[in-house]
Amino acid sequence: MPLLRRKIVPLEPIPVQDSDNKIKDVWQVRFTGEIFTDYIKYAEKIMLYKKPIWTCELTGKMNLTYEEALESERNCREKTKNSYPEVWIPLTLEMAQYKQGKLNDIVEKIYEYLKDKYIIGEVLYFTIPNTQQQKLGKLVSINEDEENEEKRYRIHMISKYGKELKEGDLGSKPVEYEVDFDSLRRDRCIYSKQLMRNFLRESTTRDSWIGAPIVVKHSLAKQYNISEEPPSELKNLIEEKSKKRKRNSEVVEVSDEEESGEEENGEEGDKKSKKKSKKKQKKNEEDGESGSNSKSKKEKKEEEEEEEEVKEDINIKYPIEDLELPKYIKEDKDLEIPKPSSDFGSISQKQVSSALMVWDFLCVYG
């Protein structure tokens, strides 16, 4: 969902169908599917969506309209879904769960961890032993050589469409090889920090308060057996923040109830408001008596400041911008508005436009 000030704006709920008025005009937002029965609310929401104030949740692009942010998220999801390796997902989610640092720092840790480690089931490029040929294959197993203390990687060749090759597909050539670490490499487009960042933005959530941890979405945590139990320190912090949020929501609800209660009990509300207004009047009268002396001092200061401004603005050079005119210059309201006239003296009507252009040019550049 596109973000507004780092928060998701909830969509309007579907209006309840009115049995009395079955035929009723409604307005629908094309790209969100929201339905409105009030045109004013619909117009306000459309104007909000068209403002370039939205941020793409996955890529972090800013100053987009709501529709542009949705399109950016859709494109990013398609690229991530088709590109991010399935075998990396459990490891990535586990390393990101309940981390409080910056997203870039977490991505950097995952990137460095995978740099010197290959996972079984991963699709890799490998060099066939004793040749310079590079082929695409899937890592089947990792065997440790006890004598040399080196790992040997058994890899099965696959086609460019991802299908595993069977014996005999390449004639007499084998379809499985055992290679060392240096003979393997990942695709640069897949093994990238940007792809990891996009995947984490899509598969995790984070509250807007400072120091909020990254939380894996419930569906993914359940699918990949990621623990949803936060550490003890974080658990207390999350509970405190949730309590504060509940208090704030309760305060808002109470204020709304008070307003509605005042509307219901109109007479009692009027009496209370009258008492409050009387108290305010008394306070204002007391403040006026005590502040009469201070006002006189303020007026003197203002007069002195105006005199100083007049002295400073004596040496003004014209022409000057309207907004830069001194404050003490006032327009004469008694001046009569001149009557429009087409008589330009010796200048003929055909030459009036040319004469005005020359006059304007000389005034500006003369």
Please report the pLDDT score of residue 263 as a whole number: 47
Please report the pLDDT score of residue 109 as a whole number: 93
Closest by Cα among 340, 338, 339, 318 to 329: 318
More confident call, 290 vs 141: 141
Confidence of residue 47 (pLDDT cuts 50, 70, 90): very high
Closest by Cα among 51, 38, 120 to 86: 120
Closest by Cα among 108, 116, 136 to 124: 136
Q: Is the pLDDT of residue 31 over 70?
A: yes
Closest by Cα among 195, 224, 200 to 214: 200
- Determine contact, residues 204/198, Cβ cutoff 8 Å: no
- Determine contact, residues 177/193, Cβ cutoff 8 Å: no
Q: Which of 103-112, 121-130, 253-262 has the lowest mean pLDDT?
A: 253-262
Please report the pLDDT score of residue 321 as a whole number: 79
- pLDDT more than 70, % of the chain: 78
More confident call, 309 vs 1: 1
Average pLDDT of 57-78? 86
Q: Is the pLDDT of residue 292 over 90?
A: no
Confidence of residue 57 (pLDDT cuts 50, 70, 90): confident
Average pLDDT of 94-107? 90
Please report the pLDDT score of residue 345 as a whole number: 81
Q: Is the pLDDT of residue 287 over 90?
A: no
Per-residue pLDDT tens over the stretch 245-269? 777 765 545 554 554 454 445 444 4
Q: Is the pLDDT of residue 362 over 50?
A: yes
Confidence of residue 93 (pLDDT cuts 50, 70, 90): very high
Give the Cα separation of 16 and 25 in Å (integer).
Answer: 14
Q: Is the pLDDT of residue 121 over 80?
A: yes
Please report the pLDDT score of residue 264 as a whole number: 47
Q: Which residue has the tokens 């309007």?
A: 12
Please report the pLDDT score of residue 6 as a whole number: 78
More confident call, 78 vs 127: 127
Please report the pLDDT score of residue 250 as a whole number: 59
Instruction: Report the topology of domain 85-232.
Output: SH3 type barrels. (2.30.30)
φ/ψ bin of 201: left (φ > 0), alpha (ψ from -120 to 50), beta (otherwise): alpha
- Determine contact, residues 29/5, Cβ cutoff 8 Å: no
| All structural domains of the chain with their residue ranges | 3-80, 85-232
Q: Which residue has the tokens 């005590």?
A: 290
Please report the pLDDT score of residue 278 as a whole number: 57
Give the Cα separation of 320 and 239 in Å (integer).
Answer: 63
Please report the pLDDT score of residue 111 as a whole number: 93
Per-residue pLDDT tens over the stretch 152-170? 889 988 887 778 888 777 7
Give the DSSP H or E segment for 311: helix 266-312
Give the Cα separation of 24 and 20 in Å (integer).
Answer: 10
Sheet of 184-185: strand order equals 176-179, 150-157, 134-145, 123-127, 184-185
Per-residue pLDDT tens over the stretch 3-29? 888 788 889 888 877 666 665 788 899
Q: Is the pLDDT of residue 202 over 60?
A: yes
Average pLDDT of 314-324? 72
Q: What is the mean pLDDT of the chain?
A: 79
Query: Which sign does the torsion angle of CA 62, 67, 72, 74 carry?
Result: positive
Please report the pLDDT score of residue 21 as a whole number: 63
Average pLDDT of 280-306? 61
More confident call, 305 vs 104: 104
More confident call, 82 vs 357: 357
Amino acid of residue 253 = E
Average pLDDT of 83-88? 86
Q: Are strands 123-127 and 184-185 parallel, antiparallel or unpaired?
A: antiparallel
Per-residue pLDDT tens over the stretch 185-200? 998 888 889 889 888 9
